[in-house]
Structure 1
Amino acid sequence: MPPKTNNNALAQRKKEQLKQKQKTRRLIWFTTVGVILALIIVAVLIQPKSKAAEFDYASLPVLGSPDASVKIVEFGDFKCPACKQVNELIKPQLLKDYIDQGKVAFYFVNLPFISPDSYTAALAVQSVHHQNAKAYWNYFDEVYKNQGDEQVEWATADFLVDLAKKTNLEIDYDKLKQDIVDKTYKSEVDAQYALADKLKVDSTPTFFINGLVYPADLGDYSALKKYIDHELEGK
């Protein structure tokens, strides 16, 4: 008769085997997770960085020194209420903290998508820019200051010419009117609209800072300031 099996010894042996299997499973799990994490890290490290958009800065209206190390490009529509707010609340702070100090250059690109008179306003500001670059930003501010209801057609040729006269711009008002009527700078406005489309700009205002779209809320000046300061530190 074969000897009786020691039940305690058998139970202990099964317990040890179970522990060994659990250790093996944990080892496989940790190894798998480790490999996955390593692959993720490698993917992050080798992924291409966002490519900066290229702007023909020399062709755009500039506020500040063109030699500034940080360049901000705004895509805007003169009928856009949010653009008006940024112009009246954020741009003055940028002027004080950066633009007037030669640290930032501010540029504008027309994206007249709201209504047909958005396009009319874009034609008007382009005409002023070509007639007198120094008068451009004064007119720019006045158009936003006198912005009408978004749902109403207010940016007519007559309104825009009268506004230029009231602002005492040093330009030829008859030429301004003719440029608007004849759409003299249609090709420029269309090219700017096409640039916005190419860069997938789908809302106004949108800022590009040194060629990269600013990802945060433009109404948060402290966040914008931190972003600009970071760009300045990197120069």
Structure 2
Amino acid sequence: MKNLTWITVSGLVVLLILAFVFIPKPAPAAFAYDKLPILGSPDAPVKVVEFGDYKCPSCQFFSQQIEPQIKKDFVDKGGVSFYFMNFTFIGPDSYTAALAAQSIYHQNNDAYWKFYDALYKNQQNEKLQWATPEFLVNLAKQQNLPIDFNKLQQDIVSRTYAAEVDEHNAMAKKLNVTGTPTLFINGEKMEEAMDYAKVKAAIEKAQKGAK
């Protein structure tokens, strides 16, 4: 009886191991990269997408401490392109900030990244509603961005790019993004975005896989 039980248990263990080995991995997430703000070359073999919220304190840290290192070590060398998508879950003005950023992106991709940096540097308490149209337009003016400020104001108030922000949020939920910042490296989800050593290792692994 003991031998029978042992054989049964051993058989189940083998089946579980085989199931784990042969179950196909989920396909990498597919992004419309050509419709997103980009740092670097669109032809780079490794593509990193950040899901972020402009009111998120962790995203502020990421923008100041992690993203510049990704840019220096990988983007500036041509091996990686970096993209941004909105996941506006903190407050209603997270959405307003996203509308402003999308407007600037559609006017000038380089200006978008200057605004990205400025918005996080001037981030206020996440519990307060501070990302108003007036604040966002004034911030863009303070950065001397080469854009049409009247159009920016109109785009925010008219919610011109609401459909795009909604698509970003829907994509985040579809991909089970539960917080920000969350990275996808060549479509593979990475939640440890705050640890640059791990981000760097994941990018280097993706580079090897892309060769």
1:42-61 residue CA offsets vs partner (Å, 9 max, x unmatched): 11122121221111110001
Write the distance in 2 (CA, Å) between the matches of 1:132 and 1:41.
52
1:121 pairs with 2:111: no
In terms of mean alpha carbon deviation, does 83-92 or 190-199 score higher?
190-199
- What TM-score do you get using the length of structure 2 for normalisation? 0.95
Q: Which has the larger radius of gyration?
A: 1
What is the aligned counterpart of 1:53 among 29, 46, 54? 29
Match of 1:20?
Answer: none
Report what 1:39 is aligned to.
15
The amino acid of 2:199's aligned partner reads L
CA distance in 2 between partners of 1:188 and 1:207 (Å): 19
What is the RMSD computed on CA atoms of the aligned residues?
1.4
Identity %: 51
**What's the counterpart of residue 71 of structure 1?**
47
User: Where does residue 12 of structure 1 map in the other structure?
Assistant: none
Specify the code of the residue in structure 1 equivalent to 2:132: T
Q: 1:175 aligns with which of 151, 157, 163?
A: 151
- Determine if the alignment matches structure 1 residue 230 to structure 2 residue 187: no
Distance in 2 (CA, whole Å) between partners of 1:140 and 1:232 is: 26
Given residue 202 of structure 2, which amino acid in structure 1 is its aligned partner? Y
Displacement of 1:34: 3.1
Question: Deviation digits for residues 81-127 of structure 1, max 9, x if unmatched?
Answer: 00000110100110111111111111101111211111110010111
- How many aligned residue pairs are there? 210
- Structure-2 residue corresponding to 1:9: none
Give 1:33 shift. Answer: 3.8
CA distance, structure 2, for counterparts of residue 28 and residue 153 of structure 1: 66
CA distance in 1 between counterparts of 2:158 and 2:4 reads: 74
Tell me how far apart the structure 2 counterparts of residues 107 and 195 of structure 1 sit (CA, whole Å): 14
Give the match for residue 219 of structure 1.
194
Residue 193 of structure 1: how far off its partner (Å) = 1.1
TM-score, structure 1 normalization? 0.85
Q: Which runs of 5+ in 2 are unaligned?
A: none
- 1:91 is aligned to 67
Moved over 2 A (4+): 27-34
Q: Alignment partner of 1:234: what SS?
A: helix
Q: Within 2, Cα distance between the matches of 1:133 and 1:66?
A: 13
